[in-house]
Amino acid sequence: MNRLNAAALDTLPQGVEQPRYDRSTLQPGIVHLGIGAFMRAHLAVATEAALHNQPDQRWGIVGVSLRQPDTRDALAPQDGLYSVAVCDADAAGQARQHLQVVGCIVRVLVAPENPSAVLQVIAAATTRIVSLTITEKGYHRDLVTGTLNQAHPDVLYDLTHPNAPCSAIGFVVHGLALRRAAGLGGVALLSLDNLPANGHTLHALVLKFAEQLGPSLAQWIQQTCSFPNSMVDRIVPRTTDADRQRVAAQLGVADAWPVMAEPFFDWAVEDQFVAGRPAWDRGGARFVEAAEPYETLKLRMVNGAHSTLAYLGAMAGWATVDQAIGQPTMRRFVEGLMRDEIAPTLPALPGLDLTDYAASLLTRFANPALAHHTQQIAMDGSQKLPQRWLGTVGDRLAAGQGVRHLGLAIAAWGHYLRRRDEHGHHYPLEDPLAAELVALAARLETATNAKARALALLGFAPVFGDLQGSEALVDSVASGLDALRDLGVTATLKRFDEV
């Protein structure tokens, strides 16, 4: 089978969308660090729509892989083209996909192969935006305070290797230093990761790193760059070989690197782009005054519910989110979690009906065409839980309210750390703190009673800070840990219903 590339565009079947603008003169206006599946189904799709609706040759994207060459190796022979398969079910419940070939990625760089090329493109006069999807762990934050973890080996390395950094923050700051030295202006630095106040967070990390290099650089960044906060929402499961085959069968050519996405797309972003931006509102973005309330809503509801489904589902052997939410007890638990515990902590937003929001979320989770693996969401829990669950927990405890559902969710994470599901299947713990978490799991095994186990779990300060001081939380985590160990997920959820 031939490969997808520029020459193959003419052969694509009707109904497959493809670039309708002149790709040959696109300038690289956006440098994107972390060119994974999510970015290619979100930022790139919104940029593509902007290019279709308001052609502007300034907005091509240079993607940067911070670790692996696989994306570059797949996209280079395809002239940067790849397909987005939007997956859902038809009225009869049959899975279907709609394909779009996206053309706005002009080049992919592999940072470890050529770090100076990455620095140069950040420092290029054409670059106006540097965006990031590097996942939670890529920011090297202290999880509780959100500040730069200055003891992290990558941070230490990058402070002394201006020509060949390895972390995203290192590339950003050293690249900005080159811009400044060249007399160029600042750029907008746009985090698209699931972090609270992601723009402010990135701003603080960048400034902290820059200050170590010299106060004048930090001051220049402060004066010339902007850091819009933004809430991003689209479920993008990891692509499988079966997905690739289905896409090829429909395209008539082989695409080595397609991405799968749900139809839903949302992006609330603050319109603070010091050097301009594409017309992303033509591609589904909403420019808002303050994105933080939207981020809180999304992190607590979408991601909070997702992680709950992930740990309980993975332990029960429900491999995918649609399978997990298809269990009536699990569904009732997630409904109760959203309605009774998360929703009451959320800020009011114009036009937002939380009951409708929760209902549409359940429909998204039930999408049978996505096969979003619970184990995929379960990874990197230490990095995710503080903003997904613990903000809600903190708000509720401060208001003297109960945390029954969230206590069980935390217990499910503790249970998950044992690396063996209820059917005896072993799985690896994928988490940057895996070694510490394996040791924590051993402490949970040997603790003499449920309360001691809960205290051991909540005493894991990198994630929980000082939350173990709350008796209400300790009690609900203790009873969750006990029930999950003795009864298993299904019976625990059933009993939860009955209380």
CA distances from 384 to 66, 74, 128, 433 (A): 20, 29, 30, 12
The beta strands (E) that lie in 46-128 are given as: 60-65, 82-89, 95-102, 105-110
Q: Does 233 interact with ligand CS2 (rule: CB under 6 A)?
A: yes
Rank residues 104 and 299 by Cβ distance to ligand CS2 and give the closer one. 299
DSSP 17: B
What's the closest the beta carbon of residue 321 comes to ligand CS2, in angstroms? 9
What's the closest the beta carbon of residue 366 comes to ligand CS2, in angstroms? 14
Closest alpha carbon to 496 in 416, 392, 408: 408
Q: Does 48 interact with ligand CS2 (rule: CB under 6 A)?
A: no
Q: Does 377 interact with ligand CS2 (rule: CB under 6 A)?
A: yes
> Which two tokens mark 362?
């359940």
Residue 414 parent element (H or E)? helix 404-416
Q: Does 444 interact with ligand CS2 (rule: CB under 6 A)?
A: no
Q: Does 255 interact with ligand CS2 (rule: CB under 6 A)?
A: no
What mask of x and - would describe binding to ligand CS2 in positions 80 to 119, judged by CB under 6 A?
Answer: ----------------------------------------
* 60-65/105-110 β-pairing: parallel
Judge contact between 374 and 273, C-beta under 8 A: no
Q: Does 235 interact with ligand CS2 (rule: CB under 6 A)?
A: yes
Residues 6+ apart with CB under 8 A from 99: 15, 16, 17, 83, 84, 85, 86, 247, 250, 251
Q: Does 382 interact with ligand CS2 (rule: CB under 6 A)?
A: no
Alpha helices per DSSP H over 225-291: 241-251
What's the closest the beta carbon of residue 67 comes to ligand CS2, in angstroms? 18
What's the closest the beta carbon of residue 450 comes to ligand CS2, in angstroms? 28
What's the closest the beta carbon of residue 190 comes to ligand CS2, in angstroms? 16
What's the closest the beta carbon of residue 380 comes to ligand CS2, in angstroms? 7
Please calculate the CA angle 14-16-21 and round it to the nearest 5 degrees.
105
3-state secondary structure of 413: helix
Residue nearest to ligand CS2 (CB): 306
Residues 6+ apart with CB under 8 A from 48: 19, 100, 102, 103, 104, 283
Closest alpha carbon to 298 in 268, 329, 332: 268
Q: For the chain, what is the radius of gyration of the CA atoms?
A: 23
Rank residues 158 and 233 by Cβ distance to ligand CS2 and give the closer one. 233
Rank residues 376 and 490 by Cβ distance to ligand CS2 and give the closer one. 376
Q: Does 358 interact with ligand CS2 (rule: CB under 6 A)?
A: no
Q: For the purposes of burial, counting CB atoms within 10 Å of the CB of 62, is it exposed (0-12), middle (13-18) or buried (19 or more)?
A: buried
Q: Which of residues 297-326 bind ligand CS2 (CB under 6 A)?
A: 302-303, 306
The footprint of ligand CS2 on this chain (CB under 6 A) covers a number of residues equal to 10
What's the closest the beta carbon of residue 277 comes to ligand CS2, in angstroms? 21
Q: Does 65 interact with ligand CS2 (rule: CB under 6 A)?
A: no
What's the closest the beta carbon of residue 439 comes to ligand CS2, in angstroms? 24
What's the closest the beta carbon of residue 82 comes to ligand CS2, in angstroms? 19
Rank residues 168 and 235 by Cβ distance to ligand CS2 and give the closer one. 235
> Which two tokens mark 365?
């989770």
Q: Which of residues 177-196 bind ligand CS2 (CB under 6 A)?
A: 194
What's the closest the beta carbon of residue 235 comes to ligand CS2, in angstroms? 4
Rank residues 259 and 377 by Cβ distance to ligand CS2 and give the closer one. 377
Q: Which of residues 394-413 bind ligand CS2 (CB under 6 A)?
A: none
- Give 100's strand partners: 17, 84
Of positions 107, 128, 234, 453, contacts ligand CS2 by CB under 6 A: 234
Residue ranges in contact with ligand CS2 by CB under 6 A: 194, 233-235, 302-303, 306, 376-377, 384
